[in-house]
């Protein structure tokens, strides 16, 4: 075969592949579902399923240990963003009680090449990221809530993802077993 | 700059979504027929149609159909699947067979016969991706896949001439 291989930047192609496939999926979901809230919910669930598996990959690749507090967790998630999305968000806007914080992304690879039409303005396009965070943290016994506060797709300056700590999950034995 | 594993996990969720969505729709219409993966193929098609445009933007025009296929087998495949197609065969009349001996989405599945009947789920997206890419390069085609032993896979491309 005459052409030299590796003429493309595989990392960049892979990133575009994710962006484009994600876009095609969201378009399909919008077609399938009756209202946009359902789509947002479904994206979150899809993200959750991904998060449940991604955390394994993350722990295996980084060999990271236990987090001492939520600040520690936030830093770890920050490095996971870097690893998986290639962007480094800022951790900011801690609540006074220290149980709520935000990730602020200047650029979001998921929304590269994306424009929301007017009738989908309330679609939470990036909800998948919230799902991933929730799913991943659930696997390390942290129950959190995550939602989007600001979205570049809707004209905001940055994309801001809020994470709220709910409680620590305890390993529970199934009923009837000792 | 996404990590590789992200797309792999995302791809399996994609398959998951399409299948679950079909199941709920089948319940509503109470129809019973085989698995419908056309939505998955279409997602692949739209992705391929768009990504090929970005990949070939800086490249010179392909000489002919075979040249295009060679590009698909080498550069395109290694950009997306991290390896080249292992074997390309053609009858020079519009039929091309692309063989990948270790297809990325099948390589994580059992290589026994246990899940062989589920393999269409994991190759349909790629069929669409190929069809979409070729369509944008001006080649109308029908793409089907054939899996005999995991994890190898053959993609049959039939070019539509009329």
Q: Is B43 on the interface with A (CB under 8 A)?
A: yes
Instruction: Give the CATH number, domain containing residue B130.
Output: 3.30.1380.20
pLDDT of residue B22: 85
Q: Nearest CB to A13: which of B3, B5, B80?
A: B80
State how far the Cα of A51 lies from the Cα of A143, in Å rounded to an integer. 13
Domain that holds residue A106: 10-168
Provide φ and ψ at A159, rounded to 5°: -105, 125
| Residue B13 is assigned to a structural domain of this protein | no
- Structural domains of chain A, count: 1
Q: Is B139 within the bounds of a domain?
A: yes
Q: What are the pLDDT digits (tens) for B79-118?
A: 898 889 999 999 999 999 999 999 999 988 888 888 888 8
For an interface test with B, which of A4, A9, A18, A83 has the most B Cβ atoms less than 10 Å from its Cβ? A18
Please check whether residue B146 is in contact with residue B95, taking contact to mean a CB–CB distance below 8 angstroms.
no
- The H or E element that residue A133 is part of is helix A127-138
User: Which two structure tokens, joined as six digits, stand for A90?
Assistant: 């800022």
Q: Does B13 contact A at CB distance below 8 Å?
A: yes
Residue B34: band (very low, low, confident or very high) from pLDDT cuts 50, 70, 90:
low
- Looking at the domain assignment, is residue B8 inside a domain? no
Tell me, yes or no, whether A177 lies in a domain: no
In a domain, B12, yes or no: no
Q: Does residue B56 lie in a domain region?
A: yes
Mutate to test the interface with A, among B6, B52, B64, B69 (most CBs of A within 10 A): B6
Sign of CA dihedral A38, B48, B137, B54: positive
Residue A1 included in any domain: no
Nearest Cα to Cα of residue A74 among A173, A146, A148, A158:
A146
Least confident of A81-85, B21-25, B128-132, B146-150: B21-25
Rounded CA-CA distance A40/A48 in Å is: 12
For residue A167, with 0-12 CB atoms within 10 Å meaning exposed, 13-18 middle and 19 or more buried, which class applies? exposed
Taking CA atoms, what residue in A is nearest to B59?
A: A7
* Domain extent at residue B48: 37-159
| Residue B118 in domain | yes
Q: What is the CATH number of the domain that holds A62?
A: 3.30.1380.20
Instruction: Answer whether B97 touches A (CB < 8 Å).
Output: no
- Assigned domain for A175 exists: no
- Min Cα distance A177 → chain B (Å) is 32
pLDDT at A3: 45
User: What is the least distance, in Å, from the CA of B63 to any CA of chain A?
Assistant: 13
Within-domain flag for B21: no
Average pLDDT over all residues of chain B: 89
> What tens-digit pLDDT sequence spans chain A (178 residues)?
444 446 788 888 888 899 999 999 999 999 988 889 999 999 999 999 999 999 999 999 998 888 889 999 999 999 999 999 889 999 999 999 989 999 999 988 888 888 898 888 889 999 999 999 999 999 999 999 999 999 988 888 889 999 999 988 887 777 776 6
Q: Identify whether B95 is part of a domain.
A: yes
């Amino acid at each position: 075969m005459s052409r030299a291989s590796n003429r493309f930047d595989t990392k960049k192609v892979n990133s575009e592949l994710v962006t484009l496939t994600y876009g095609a999926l969201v378009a399909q979901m919008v077609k399938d579902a009756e209202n946009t809230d359902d789509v947002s919910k479904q994206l979150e669930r899809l993200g959750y399923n991904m998060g449940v598996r991604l955390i394994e990959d993350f722990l295996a690749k980084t060999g990271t240990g236990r987090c001492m507090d939520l600040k520690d967790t936030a830093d770890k998630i920050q490095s996971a963003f870097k690893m998986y999305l290639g962007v480094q968000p800022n951790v900011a806007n801690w609540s006074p009680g220290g149980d709520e914080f935000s990730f602020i992304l200047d650029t979001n690879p998921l929304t590269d090449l994306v424009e929301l039409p007017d009738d989908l303005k309330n679609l939470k396009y990036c909800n998948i990221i919230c799902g991933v965070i929730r799913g991943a943290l659930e696997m390390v016994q942290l129950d959190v809530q995550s939602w989007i506060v600001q979205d570049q797709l809707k004209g905001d300056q940055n994309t801001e993802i809020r994470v709220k700590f709910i409680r620590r999950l305890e390993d529970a034995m199934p009923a009837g077993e000792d | 700059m996404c990590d590789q594993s992200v797309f792999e996990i995302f791809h399996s969720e994609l398959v998951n979504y399409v299948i679950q969505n079909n199941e709920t729709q089948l319940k509503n219409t109470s129809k019973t027929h085989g698995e419908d993966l056309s939505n998955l193929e279409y997602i692949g098609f739209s992705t391929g149609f768009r990504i090929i445009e970005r990949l070939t933007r800086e490249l010179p025009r392909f000489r002919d159909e075979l040249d295009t296929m060679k590009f698909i087998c080498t550069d395109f495949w290694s950009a997306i699947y991290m390896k080249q197609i292992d074997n390309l065969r053609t009858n020079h009349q519009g039929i091309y067979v692309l063989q990948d001996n270790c297809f990325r989405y099948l390589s994580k599945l059992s290589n026994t016969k246990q899940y062989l009947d589920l393999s269409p789920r994991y190759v349909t997206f790629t069929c669409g991706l190929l069809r979409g890419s070729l369509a944008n390069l001006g080649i109308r085609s029908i793409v089907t896949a054939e899996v005999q032993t995991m994890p190898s896979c053959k993609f049959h491309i039939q070019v539509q001439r009329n």
